[in-house]
Amino acid sequence: MTSEAGGEHAKALAVVAEQLGDVIEGSEQSVYIYLDDVSKVCNRNFAALLGYKSPKEWAAVKENFPDAFVSKKSQRTLIAAYQSAVTRFVGSTIKVTWKGKDGKEVETTTILVPIVYGGHAMALHFIEATKKP
């Protein structure tokens, strides 16, 4: 990705995150918006669910998203749902096992909702733990 695309992605994500701020911060569920491995934002609930001290600490992880945050057994499922969301604008509800900062797995039900801003397709995710971590 070029720095120009990265800057455009960051701007698009910032606008969407601001417009959806009440939803992101006010939801009782864990919530995050994903555009790419660098351009992502989450609420305190999601950061805490995965063992991060803050949404900023979670967002600072720049490695490959599935490898950093998703159990191997759920990576294909999440990637396929995300691709359907951003290419065909299909929402979905899937089972995802997340990988916490400490390596512990967290089983969840995850809802993906496609959103577009300024020509940038991304997905809004709502996560509910099915078992307490």
pLDDT 10s digits, 47-71: 999 999 999 999 999 999 999 999 9
Going by pLDDT thresholds of 50, 70 and 90, the confidence category of residue 93 is very high
Average pLDDT, rounded, for the chain? 92
Number of DSSP helices (H) and strands (E) in the chain, helices first: 6, 5
If one looks up domain 3-129 in CATH, what number appears? 3.30.450.20
Among candidates 54, 55, 51, 53, which has minimal Cα distance to 17?
55
Does the pLDDT of residue 78 top 60, yes or no?
yes
Q: What global pTM score does this model have? A: 0.89
